[in-house]
Amino acid sequence: MHQHKKSELMTKATTKTVAVKKAPAKKTVIKPKTSSIEKVSEEILAKLKALDIEHQLQADIEWCLGSYRFDQNPAGLIESANKALSVFKQELAKKTKGVTATLISGIEKSLK
């Protein structure tokens, strides 16, 4: 009879329910404005390459992107984006295919 109680205790011990832990809710991270300058600079670079213009500006933007990714200082990207903005405005005046007012306004918006 003593044996019976021991197996009963073991049965009770093994049938305990385990509480399932929920994963913590993911926190939404608000990215700083500088990450948008990185994205805009990449778009500017792609557009300059597609139009095959301003090769020195392309090189400057590539260098500034690498520098920004290293030190998170957007000064060079902002300067290059301003230069590209004036280039795109000139190209828009020439009615260069692929340069739109929407592109220019997007760059201006990111620089504000």
Task: Say if residues 37 and 77 touch (Cβ distance below 8 Å).
Answer: yes
CB atoms within 10 A of CB 60: 18
CA distance readout (Å), 93 to 40, 75, 81, 104, 106 = 21, 28, 18, 12, 17
pLDDT, one tens digit per residue, over 38-67 is 999 999 999 999 999 999 999 999 999 999
d(CA 71, CA 83): 22
In a domain, 13, yes or no: no
In a domain, 77, yes or no: yes
Q: CB-based contacts of 89: which residues, under 8 Å, 6+ apart?
A: 104
More confident of the two residues 89 and 112: 89
The whole-number pLDDT of residue 32 equals 46
DSSP state of 30: P
Note if the pTM is more than 0.75. Answer: no
Model confidence at 78, in pLDDT bands (50, 70, 90)? Answer: very high
In a domain, 25, yes or no: no
> How many structural domains comprise the chain?
1
Model confidence at 96, in pLDDT bands (50, 70, 90)? Answer: confident
In a domain, 55, yes or no: yes
In a domain, 18, yes or no: no
Mean pLDDT of 22-42: 64
In a domain, 8, yes or no: no
Domain extent, residue 81, equals 34-111
